[in-house]
Amino acid sequence: MRGVNDNPRPGYGGPFLPSALSLFLPTMVVLAGYGVALAGLVLAGRGDGALARLCIVVLALGGPFLIAHATLRVFTIRVAVMPRTLYVHRGFPSGEAQDIPYRLIDRVAVRRGLAGRIAGSGALVVTLSGGRRVVVGDLKHADQARAAIVRHMPAGERPAPDSPDGDLETSRPFASAR
């Protein structure tokens, strides 16, 4: 659905990109935790034990994989508001991008967890008319993306611009995103 009339134009909104801080913060917390544990073990004279070896393995093998995963997500998450469709790519490891016509969108919401509140990012939840949800996590300007999408929805189906989205399942935030 990406024809001549569906190309992103200035003023439509987007592309909305991910928050690098939100993606790299969990990686940095894990690496710092294992680094501090290893330093504590070395200072306590236990640097040659099994726990120290575990910390070294996590730092040497797990660290690069976590950094690579966050880097791939930074370069693959995209939301673009086009004249007739919403272009959504949920990022790595999901390989497919979706073009969603606005007439199929039932509701748009923004969710934030602890990391999202710290980093200033959020998850954009697009509920389609059949009940299916498309979740794009770690967007830097999720509220602006929601507002841009709501502006393009058909007039009779638009929610209020500042309506709370309290009817979303909050106890299991991403369980329905699969």
Residue of 81 and 156 predicted with greater confidence: 81
The per-residue pLDDT for range 11-38, each reduced to its tens digit, is: 556 688 899 999 999 999 999 999 999 9
Note whether 33 and 84 are same-domain residues: no
Note whether 88 and 126 are same-domain residues: yes
Q: What is the mean pLDDT of residues 124-137?
A: 91
Note whether 35 and 91 are same-domain residues: no
Domain interval for residue 30: 20-74
Query: Based on the structure, what is the number of domains in the chain?
Result: 2
> The domain spanning residue 125 has which CATH number?
2.30.29
Percent of the chain past pLDDT 70, that is, above it, reads 79
> Which of these, 21, 126, 148, 119, lies nearest to 73 by C-alpha position?
21
Residue of 168 and 126 predicted with greater confidence: 126
Residue with tokens 């070896």: 53
- Backbone region of residue 7 per phi and psi (left: phi > 0; alpha: psi in -120 to 50; beta: other values): beta
Cβ(74)–Cβ(60) below 8 Å: no
Note whether 48 and 98 are same-domain residues: no
- What is the pTM assigned to this prediction? 0.73
Note whether 86 and 161 are same-domain residues: yes
Q: How many whole angstroms separate alpha carbon 6 and alpha carbon 154? A: 17
